[in-house]
Structure 1
Amino acid sequence: MSTEATAWMDTLWDPEARLLRTPRPADPPTHMVRETVWYAVGLLTRRSTGDLERATEALHAVLGHQYDVPGTVFHGTWRRSPDEADPGAEPVEWRDYDPNWREFIGTALLLILHHFETDLPADLVARIDSALVLAAEGSVRRGVRPDYTNIAVMAAYLYDSVGRRFGLPPAMRAGESLARRVHTLWSATTAFPEFNSPTYYGVDLYGLGLWGAASGSPVLWSLGTDMETALWREIADRYHPGLRNIAGPYDRAYGMDMQQYAALLGLWIGLVAGPDAAPLPSGGPEAAGHAHDWCFAPCFALLGVVPPEDVTARLGQDVVRPRYMATTISESPRRVATSWLGERLMIGALDAAGEGTPWGDQHCPVTVHWRAPDGGPVRWLRAAPQSPVDAAVDRDGCLRLRIRSSEPVRFEVHTPGSAPAVLAPGHWRLPGLGVRAVESQECFDVRTTSSRDGTFVEYRPTEGAPTLSLRFLTS
């Protein structure tokens, strides 16, 4: 997978900018700084004629786009694109700069030094060393929270490794301290706060893989091994090989079907179970949404992570009997995720005890995926982000929703290639799936709308905040 990803990135290389172009044409053309360092990992791994020279050019270009402005909130991070303006006197996070580029680029640079330092020119190694110190300085000043899981696991490795490389005990202590706080938070329920994300679980596996495969800290190695093993088993519990998706709910997702976009977890499963079994777009990165994330593949492959044998086996096994999981994500506020997997159907639900979420449109508290008996594409439905609902699926696959307010619950229904046949208040007949409301449907005013974005079914409470129960039957 690393070789294929690197070959695709070859087609994005701009020799004048010495950076990768964005995967899809943009007006004006833009380039990617972070993804270029991942390309350098692929080039150094492949080692074909000219790869070392191109990797050297790419790394020099990336290093030239780091901010060195001590005392600012963006010190030590990188531009996302060379066209990006300087953040200015009152910068706004995410709009004017991305603080997370410190961790994404910094850890990739450390991975390069870990494997390829002796291959690189001395002046380039010196520039990388300087950049790593700036990145660690800026990240420590920022104070990454342990509940920001994907960034925290990378930050802990960045601090500790920079501290060990340059003999900086405060940085080493900061790294091990953050690692312990991540582990303590996880240990309370053995679940990460950024729960069940098809993209960010991929970053978690990368960060924890660095703790185990490329760290000099016994603390990071021990804590990371503990969490990494448990995370792989959690993924295997919810992964459906037949549908090539992980069952919801998702705290953060960039799509509902991993066969339509480059989910980082899909890259990991492809590395473990084989590319033919990967939950990725069949047309490769050219056919993928979020295609730039495919550039991360060489970093994953270089770590050489091997999950437990039982996980590898389960990632390739069909679901032959129903499977049910209930996971307490946190106790305060109490958040519980439930999932049910059948032969051609899977359901996910989140009960957040009335609490909201900071993740906006990435948040998917209710999800249903299925496939028709004759095959065809995966179909799905979900409660739209920000829906005022707490939900749970039981061991029989019945989805129970509690409406938290008088605001409507809006379901988005995606059935590519065919339209729903019936969308009545108490019964939906969808391609390959029947849905029946078995409780309280009379307490709702139901409306349906259709557009090129899909079909939407809106349940608006007419009497207080009732409950709604849905049963599903594949056909």
Structure 2
Amino acid sequence: MNPPARERPVETVRGRHGLIPYAQKSSVTATAWMDTLWDPTARLLRAPASQAPHTHMVRETIWYAVGLLTRGGTSDGARAVVAIEGVLAHQFTLPGHVAHGSWRRRPDEPDPAPDAADHAHDWCFAPCFALLAITPPAGVTARLTVFSGCRHVATTVTTAPRRVATSWIGERHLIGAQDSGGSLERWDDQYCPVAVHWQTPGTPHGVHWLRAAPGTPVDAAVDEEGTLRLTHYAHRNGEPLRFVVHAPQSAPQSAPDDVTAGHWRLPGLTVRVESAAGFDAVVSRSGDLLHIAYAPHEGAAEFLLRFTPV
């Protein structure tokens, strides 16, 4: 006898390479995106514009090779071999060093310090993750596929120094933030204390995003109402409060003129910016990215960002 519908296990029909449908889709989608970054001359993936001035990515290229071999298209095998050879050319040969046998993140990266560590581009890792073929419990899958109300989560990452990650999930937009309590001394290109993703109905682009630009000295927390609270430490490195917004030019309402210091009118989303300190914004575009920068103030400056899907 079949169990009642509510108790039936999650669908586990597996396709190519034994992948269940959602894993197969994740791998195929990520690999297709990485196709657009492939540089046959360098034998590596190009770095997205948001990572400028870096030009190429090494470790992400090996994950691309996994995606190619999983997809198994006519020329995918040959390209995977070229990609693997490209990655091998950037392996560290440092006998006795903790990094011996690992790889540079970028072709121009110098030899690492003993404590070098980093996080790589998660999206490029999707084909590898898909191969794990993990099937979530039915109750978990239901909560991930059907919106049942806004959610707020706060997690203490470390206690000394104190670092707290917060997130807010709405029906059409997601907010992630991290607050280090002013303890950080450097903000590298892999540290992202602010990230927002939202759906853009009626456009060919599906999902847009914005983030604090790499190197921006900022702490952030999102509250239970979905308001993002920022503390900008301009005095730490002289950097302005900078944001990068993925807003393709082919999408409606995405021109730089739609962004002012206190109001961003983006495709599918409006953002209200508030601060007790006076502020001006400089807006520019490079390709599909908008760059929004607020001039630095002395000491720490507080900002509120309020989001409304449209």
Q: What range is the shorter-chain TM-score in?
A: 0.5 to 0.7
Q: Is the 8 A contact 2:200 2:268 kept in 1?
A: yes
1:433-453 Cα distance to aligned partner (Å, 9 max, x none): 11112332x432321121125
Distance 2:303 2:91 in 1: 50
Q: Is the 8 A contact 2:230 2:303 kept in 1?
A: yes
Q: Which residue of 2 aligns with 1:348?
A: 176
- Structure 1 residue 364: Cα displacement: 1.4
Paired residue total: 240
Distance 1:426 1:86 in 2: 47
Q: Is the 8 A contact 1:253 1:364 kept in 2?
A: no
More strand by share: 2
Change (3 A) 1:411 1:328: same
Q: TM-score, normalised by structure 1?
A: 0.42
Q: TM-score, normalised by structure 2?
A: 0.62
Distance 2:245 2:196 in 1: 9
- Structure 1 residue 359: Cα displacement: 8.0
Distance 1:428 1:344 in 2: 17
Task: Kindly indicate whether residue 226 of structure 2 is the aligned counterpart of residue 392 of structure 1.
Answer: no
- Structure 1 residue 97: Cα displacement: 3.5
- Structure 1 residue 27: Cα displacement: 3.4
Distance 1:460 1:320 in 2: 40
Q: How does 1:224-303 map to 2 (within 5 A)?
A: 252=119, 254=121, 261-264=123-126, 294=127, 297-298=130-131, 300-301=132-133
Task: Kindly indicate whether residue 31 of structure 2 is the aligned counterpart of residue 3 of structure 1.
Answer: no
Q: How does 1:132-143 map to 2 (within 5 A)?
A: none
Structure possessing the higher radius of gyration over alpha carbons: 1
Distance 2:269 2:203 in 1: 13
Distance 2:201 2:64 in 1: 43
Q: Write the letter of the residue equivalent to 1:426.
A: G
Task: Kindly indicate whether residue 41 of structure 2 is the aligned counterpart of residue 27 of structure 1.
Answer: yes
Higher relative contact order (CA 8 A, sep 6+): 2
1:217-275 Cα distance to aligned partner (Å, 9 max, x none): xxxxxxxxxxxxxxxxxxxxxxxxxxxxxxxxxxx4626xxxxx4443xxxxxxxxxxx
Distance 1:25 1:400 in 2: 39
Q: Which residue of 2 aligns with 1:312?
A: 141
Distance 1:28 1:458 in 2: 32
Q: Is the 8 A contact 2:187 2:217 kept in 1?
A: no
Among 259, 268, 271, the residue aligned to 1:432: 268
Q: Which residue of 1 aligns with 2:242?
A: 410
Distance 2:198 2:225 in 1: 16
Change (3 A) 1:403 1:92: same
Q: Is the 8 A contact 2:187 2:216 kept in 1?
A: no
Aligned Cα root-mean-square deviation (Å): 4.5
Change (3 A) 1:253 1:415: farther
1:156-189 Cα distance to aligned partner (Å, 9 max, x none): xxxxxxxxxxxxxxxxxxxxxxxxxxxxxxxxxx
- Structure 1 residue 327: Cα displacement: 0.9
- Structure 1 residue 323: Cα displacement: 1.0
Q: How does 1:16-415 map to 2 (within 5 A)?
A: 24=38, 26-27=40-41, 87=93, 93=99, 97-98=101-102, 252=119, 254=121, 261-264=123-126, 294=127, 297-298=130-131, 300-301=132-133, 305-317=134-146, 319-356=147-184, 360-374=188-202, 376=204, 377-406=206-235, 407=238, 408-415=240-247
Change (3 A) 1:388 1:81: closer
SS at match of 2:259: strand
Q: Is the 8 A contact 1:384 1:410 kept in 2?
A: yes
1:425-475 Cα distance to aligned partner (Å, 9 max, x none): 1111111111112332x4323211211251111112334321011111111
Q: Is the 8 A contact 1:344 1:371 kept in 2?
A: yes
SS at match of 1:314: helix
- The gaps in structure 2 that reach 5 residues or longer are 1-13, 25-36, 45-58, 71-84, 105-113
- Structure 1 residue 36: Cα displacement: 12
User: Runs of at least 4 residues of structure 1 off by over 4 A?
Assistant: 4-7, 32-39, 79-86, 88-92
Q: Which residue of 2 aligns with 1:178?
A: none
Distance 2:65 2:275 in 1: 54
1:307-346 Cα distance to aligned partner (Å, 9 max, x none): 43322322322x2421111111111111111111111111
Change (3 A) 1:374 1:83: closer
Q: Which residue of 2 aligns with 1:176?
A: none
Q: Write the letter of the residue equivalent to 1:381.
A: L
1:119-170 Cα distance to aligned partner (Å, 9 max, x none): xxxxxxxxxxxxxxxxxxxxxxxxx99xx8xxxxxxxxxxxxxxxxxxxxxx
Q: Write the letter of the residue equivalent to 1:313.
A: A
Change (3 A) 1:332 1:92: closer
SS at match of 2:295: strand
Distance 2:303 2:215 in 1: 17
- Structure 1 residue 394: Cα displacement: 0.8
1:194-222 Cα distance to aligned partner (Å, 9 max, x none): 9xxxxxxxxxxxxxxxxxxxxxxxxxxxx
Q: Which residue of 2 aligns with 1:422?
A: 258
Q: Which residue of 1 aligns with 2:79?
A: none
Distance 1:472 1:326 in 2: 19
Percent identity over the alignment is: 38
